[in-house]
Amino acid sequence: MDEVADEPLYRDRMCGIDIGKAGMAATIRVPSDKNPARRAAETRSFGTTKKEVLALADWLRSWHVPAVVMEASGDYWKRPFYRLEAEGFETTRRRNASPICCKHAAYNTLNPRWVRTWITCPPTCSWPR
């Protein structure tokens, strides 16, 4: 688990997922065990089969992560999205993971660590649809 710099939080625990046709990269951000003022982040890869999505759900539960944001284009997001929703997670999908605000506008969406924008951006931040 990597520790990352302190940032103002709007969500305590979160998972960001970048979904492709055959796989997805999931990054969680949770409070650090060593220093609660810092964040801990971990990224894992999963497949898109039902078994792999359930493994992702188990991993998220083990970290007490209640919310998931997915970045995907096309129809690849549907099966994992609805499966995680059925498993009780708060799920959101965005076609473009970069918000329209000066702080995060140029963030690289190819790296699943963009989840930081979802917990540090205030609810007033404008996100493209």
Instruction: Tell me the two tokens of residue 78.
Output: 């549907």
> Where are the domains positioned within the chain?
2-119
Other Cβ atoms closer than 10 A to 74:
10
Per-residue pLDDT of the chain (129 residues; tens, 9 = 90+): 555 555 555 578 888 888 888 889 898 888 888 887 788 888 899 999 999 999 999 999 999 999 898 877 778 888 999 999 999 999 888 765 454 443 444 444 445 455 555 555 555 554 443
SS3 state of residue 7: coil
Q: Which amino acid, one-letter code, is at 12?
A: D
Alpha helices in 65-121 (DSSP H): 78-86, 115-120
- Bridge-based pairing state of the strands 14-19 and 67-71: parallel
- Bridge-based pairing state of the strands 14-19 and 23-31: antiparallel
pTM of the predicted model, to two decimals?
Answer: 0.73
The partner residues of 39 in beta bridges, in order of sequence, read: 4, 31
CATH class, range 2-119:
alpha beta
Q: Which amino acid, one-letter code, is at 15?
A: C
